[in-house]
Amino acid sequence: MKSLIIIFIITLSASVSENTINLSIRNDASLIAPGIGAERILLNQSADDIMALKGYPDKISELKEKKELFSDVFKIQAPVKIVFDKIYYYNFQKAIFFLNSNNVCAIAGLNNQRITVDSVDLSRGIEFFIFNYGNKNLQIIKRDNDSKDIIYFYSKGIAVVDDKSDDKIDMYIVFIEEGKDY
């Protein structure tokens, strides 16, 4: 009986913690939760939810066929595959939402004045980010041998981009964590 109560408490606390993170993301545009959301939007939210919260996008790209984010946009072979058919771009907020069948499948941010739920400040650069997140489940991919573009992937649902190899995070991408279903 005690073990059943302990399992229930652990499950309840995990659920409360995820709900707290979701609420925090919805209320704070500067907060990033790998594998969950960013820019006040949660992964798997609908296009209508985005527009209700952020207004009409500055640009909308509707594709005739589905594309894969990393291979078709960044021209790299990434450890994750993110398929999308629509893009919402918000210029002032420097945020890009990738949608698949009208639901958010990835969020890209071009503002490094952000902090993760793990208290990692993106404005402190790539080295600081890697120091805090570690090397476990990290994959580093260069666009090509001549390029300075480097993407740092973590399987927990976040990638950061340094496009000049200057230790500055120029973009972050939040996506569904590897092996997790929404």
Between CA 148 and CA 166 the distance in angstroms is 9
Tell me the pTM. Answer: 0.86
Is residue 11 over pLDDT 70? no
Q: Which of 5-19, 96-110, 130-144 is the least confident region? A: 5-19
As beta bridge partners, residue 173 has: 108, 159
Q: How many other CB atoms are there within 10 angstroms of residue 138's CB atom?
A: 13
Task: Let me know how long the chain is.
Answer: 182
Is residue 82 over pLDDT 80? yes
Give the residue among 25, 36, 19 at the shortest CA–CA distance from 174.
36
Q: Which residue has the higher pLDDT, 72 or 1?
A: 72
Q: Which residue has the higher pLDDT, 105 or 29?
A: 105
Looking at residue 4, its pLDDT comes to 44
CATH 1.25.40 is right for the domain spanning 2-175: no
The conformation of residue 90, written as its DSSP 8-state character, comes to: E
Percentage with pLDDT > 70 across the chain: 86
Is residue 103 over pLDDT 50? yes
Q: Break the chain into its structural domains and give their ranges.
A: 2-175
Q: Which residue has the higher pLDDT, 19 or 32?
A: 32
Could you report the per-residue pLDDT of 31-76, keeping only the tens digit for each?
Answer: 999 999 999 999 999 999 999 999 999 999 999 999 999 889 888 8
Residue 6 pLDDT level (bands cut at 50, 70, 90): very low
Q: What is the largest CA-CA distance in the chain?
A: 62
